Amino acid sequence: FREVRLILGDQLNASHSWFKEEDTEHVLFVLFEMRQETDYVTHHRQKVLAFFAAMRAFADAMGTIHNVLYMRLDSDENQHNLKENIHAVLNHVNAKKFSYQEPDEYRLDIQLNSLDLDPEISIACVSSEHFFTQRDDLIRYFPKLDRRAKAESLAQTQTLLMETFYRQIRKETGYLMEGNKPEGGKWNYDQENRNKLPDSQTLPDPLIFANDVRHIEAVLNKAEIKTLGTANSERLLWPISRRQSRELLRHFVQKALPHFGVYQDAMSERCWTLFHSRLSFSLNTKMLHPREVIEAAIQGFRDNPNDISIAQVEGFVRQILGWREYVRMIYWQFMPDYKATNYFEHKRDLPAFFWTGKTKMRCLQHSIQQSLDYAYAHHIQRLMVTGNFALLAGIAPEQVNTWYLGIYIDAVEWVELPNTHGMSQFADGGLLASKPYVSSGNYLQKMGHYCTSCEYDVKQKTGPKSCPLNSLYWHFIDRNLKHFKNNHRMHMIVNQWEKRSDSDRKAVLEQADTWLLNLENI
Ligand code: FAD
């Protein structure tokens, strides 16, 4: 072979121009299952199974037309390290060129930038052709950004609002635009999109697959790969091919998009998927292109304007065209320093119940158990249940990141880190969010039904039966007053706290201290 081309596990893009070239008979495409990937964090069992199953399905499909070398986890030749595997393959086939697609993760970028190949071998890095924006595009959307500034110091002077970027990318792509104006007259329908799920609302049955991946599970068992959560390897429910991913997309547009926006923030124990798409795994492995997902949603809206309103489709487009692209630019602009920031200097350990779901707080218990069962929680469960609790309790962001990076089916660092470290834990000091996403039990009661079956009482502020979030919330405000004095979005809250009597504040803080001393048993 003249050339070896690497395909990483999250680069399963069959529409890449690599596969459209005609004379690829001298090209060898390689994919590796490696311990460096199964072991850099403890992943959910379903995540490892789904990644390997999707990689194998991709290699099989591509192998009917192209030369593909697929190195399995149990192959004798496998060095389990990306650099070493690349060296070994290049030596073996005597290729003079090595090509790879731009990786999305920093740790892989470092590896691929330091391959140290024989000088006779040329190296080419090409685009993954997946995103609307480039890795280093943040400066294009925020021209006043100091290119060299580190995340935490920059956050003191500037919040890089997603909305600023979103409006520009809407104009650039023309999605939901009428000339230079947003379709329907508004850029953002968030205000209409914050409803609690009424008991009378029927829910669509989730489309789940039944992929038999027992052969992969056997390999994981033999290699003693450490995982978390549970999996039914006879019937893995996640899409592992482009065909299944497209089926899930169609199902979403027909059944869930009509109510996507309106119940986007709702929490319910009635169904784990609600009106969410669960397309993040297919998107993050690149089995689906964001363009086709956005266009399918917009087409659904055009075809069924009576069922799907602009507020629903705009809410969905914003997540993918807005948030998803934006967090990737943040990640690439500020890594590797980004990961090391710890604005509130939080140091506590993540309680063990994050791995077992064994806690008396119903909201946490349900969201964690669901995550262990399905490798999935929707955005508000991640942000306002587990994330909110970790932030109020002062858990070390590094431990919070590790948990999120492992547990979710869609967790790849470029998207997990800005969401967890920045949006949820405010560890970057407010670069991404203009104020911390925190709440007392009140918000949970307003948006969900957890409180009705909880051992704690959301109405009580103090005492052994009081909802722990109620006092932890004020403890968080109180211990970080110095940080909030200059944040105008926090003024009202700070004023509310300072107006309370000394004895009232003391009681609340004492209650919070009791919880903090006993976090493991909360
Ligand atoms: P839907 O609600 O149906 O949304 C549609 C799509 O929009 C998603 O598939 C996703 O591609 C995109 N999207 C929505 N919100 C975001 C966002 N904030 N950032 C980037 N893309 C978004 N998303 C991941 O893909 N991987 C992660 O590791 C991840 N970690 C997160 C950690 C925390 C603490 C939080 C608060 C959010 C995280 N998110 C992550 C974002 C979001 O929660 C998930 O994308 C979403 O829940 C996936 O489920 P879904 O496909 O049903 O999404």
In the numeric block, the tokens 């393959």 are attached to 89
Banded pLDDT at 155 (limits 50, 70, 90) = confident
**What's the angle, vertex CA 355, arms to CA 351 and CA 356, rounded to 5?**
100
- Decide if 317 contacts 175 (C-beta within 8 A): yes
pLDDT of residue 154: 79
**What would the DSSP string read from start to end of 346-385?**
--BPPPGGGGT---S-HHHHHHHHHHHHHS---HHIIIII
Q: Is the pLDDT of residue 152 over 80?
A: no
Q: How far is CA 135 from the centre of its chain?
A: 17
- Decide if 278 contacts 325 (C-beta within 8 A): no
Q: CA dist 7 to 98, 109, 110, 351, 410, Å?
A: 11, 13, 16, 37, 18
Q: How many CA atoms lie within 13 A of 349 on its CB side?
A: 8
**In ligand 1, which atom is closest to the CA atom of 387?**
34
- Decide if 230 contacts 372 (C-beta within 8 A): yes
Task: Provide the 3-class DSSP secondary structure of residue 182.
Answer: strand
pLDDT digits (tens, 9 = 90+) for 213-270: 999 999 999 999 999 999 999 999 999 999 999 999 999 999 999 999 999 999 999 9
Share of the chain above pLDDT 90, in %: 94
pLDDT of residue 158: 76
Residue of the CA atom closest to atom 48 of ligand 1: 280
**What would the DSSP string read from start to end of 448-483?**
-SGGGG-SSBTT-SSSTTB-HHHHHHHHHHHHTHHH
Start and end residues for every CATH 3.40.50.620 domain found in the chain = 3-126
Alpha helices for 16-147 (secondary structure H) = 35-39, 45-63, 82-93, 106-113, 138-141
Residue of the CA atom closest to atom 51 of ligand 1: 278
Q: How far is the CA of 137 from the centre of ligand 1 (A)?
A: 21
Assigned CATH class of 352-521: mainly alpha
Task: Provide the 3-class DSSP secondary structure of residue 201.
Answer: coil
Alpha helices for 174-279 (secondary structure H) = 214-223, 242-251, 257-260
pLDDT of residue 190: 85
Q: How far is the CA of 115 from the centre of ligand 1 (A)?
A: 32
379 lines ligand 1 (CB under 6 A): yes
In the numeric block, the tokens 């390999």 are attached to 219
Start and end residues for every CATH 1.25.40.80 domain found in the chain = 138-334
Pocket test residue of 248, 410, 417, 437 for ligand 1, highest count of atoms within 8 A of CB = 410
Cα–Cα distance, 515 to 441 (Å, whole number): 15
Q: How far is the CA of 279 from the centre of ligand 1 (A)?
A: 9
For the chain, the residue count is 522
pLDDT digits (tens, 9 = 90+) for 370-423: 999 999 999 999 999 999 999 999 999 999 999 999 999 999 999 999 999 999
CATH homologous superfamily of 3-126: HUPs (3.40.50.620)
Start and end residues for every CATH 1.10.579.10 domain found in the chain = 352-521
- Token representation of residue 319: 């997540």
Residue 317 has phi, psi (to 5 degrees) of -60, -40
* Cross-strand pairs, 178: 181
Neighbour-count burial of 329, counting CB atoms closer than 10 A to its CB (0-12 exposed, 13-18 middle, 19+ buried): buried
Q: How far is the CA of 324 from the centre of ligand 1 (A)?
A: 8
385, amino acid identity:
V
Neighbour-count burial of 125, counting CB atoms closer than 10 A to its CB (0-12 exposed, 13-18 middle, 19+ buried): middle
Banded pLDDT at 134 (limits 50, 70, 90) = very high
Banded pLDDT at 90 (limits 50, 70, 90) = very high
| Pairing, β 177-178 against β 181-182 | antiparallel
**What's the angle, vertex CA 56, arms to CA 50 and CA 60, rounded to 5?**
145
**What would the DSSP string read from start to end of 414-447?**
HHHHIIIIIIIT-TTSSSS-SS-----HHHHHHH
- Decide if 197 contacts 275 (C-beta within 8 A): no
Banded pLDDT at 207 (limits 50, 70, 90) = very high
pLDDT of residue 63: 96
276 lines ligand 1 (CB under 6 A): yes
32-46, 87-101, 154-168: least confidently modelled range? 154-168
Closest by CA to 207, choosing from 264, 257, 247, 260, is 247
- Decide if 77 contacts 88 (C-beta within 8 A): yes
Q: CA dist 389 to 268, 356, 383, Å?
A: 18, 16, 9
410 lines ligand 1 (CB under 6 A): yes
- Token representation of residue 325: 């692209």
Q: How many CB atoms lie within 10 A of CB 117?
A: 13
pLDDT of residue 300: 98
419 lines ligand 1 (CB under 6 A): yes
- ipTM surpasses cut 0.90: yes
Task: Provide the 3-class DSSP secondary structure of residue 70.
Answer: strand
pLDDT of residue 366: 98
Banded pLDDT at 159 (limits 50, 70, 90) = confident
- Residues ≥6 apart with Cβ < 8 Å to 455: 360, 361, 362, 465
Q: Is the pLDDT of residue 157 over 90?
A: no
437, amino acid identity:
Y
284 lines ligand 1 (CB under 6 A): yes
Cα–Cα distance, 495 to 477 (Å, whole number): 11
Q: How far is the CA of 410 from the centre of ligand 1 (A)?
A: 8
297 lines ligand 1 (CB under 6 A): no
- Residues ≥6 apart with Cβ < 8 Å to 150: 334, 337
Closest by CA to 30, choosing from 39, 18, 41, is 18
Cα–Cα distance, 486 to 109 (Å, whole number): 38
253 lines ligand 1 (CB under 6 A): no
**In ligand 1, which atom is closest to the CA atom of 400?**
34
- Residues ≥6 apart with Cβ < 8 Å to 126: 18, 99, 100, 101, 102
Pocket test residue of 165, 402, 415 for ligand 1, highest count of atoms within 8 A of CB = 415
pLDDT of residue 485: 85
Q: How far is the CA of 466 from the centre of ligand 1 (A)?
A: 31
> Own/partner pairs for 137-141, CB < 8 Å, 24+ apart?
137/329, 138/329, 138/330, 138/332, 138/333, 139/333, 141/165, 141/168, 141/169, 141/329
Q: Which CATH number does 138-334 carry?
A: 1.25.40.80
Q: How far is the CA of 280 from the centre of ligand 1 (A)?
A: 6
Q: How far is the CA of 379 from the centre of ligand 1 (A)?
A: 6
Q: Is the peptide bond before 204 cis (omega within 30 degrees of 0)?
A: no
Q: How far is the CA of 463 from the centre of ligand 1 (A)?
A: 36
pLDDT of residue 297: 98
Q: CA dist 512 to 49, 214, 350, 474, Å?
A: 41, 47, 17, 8
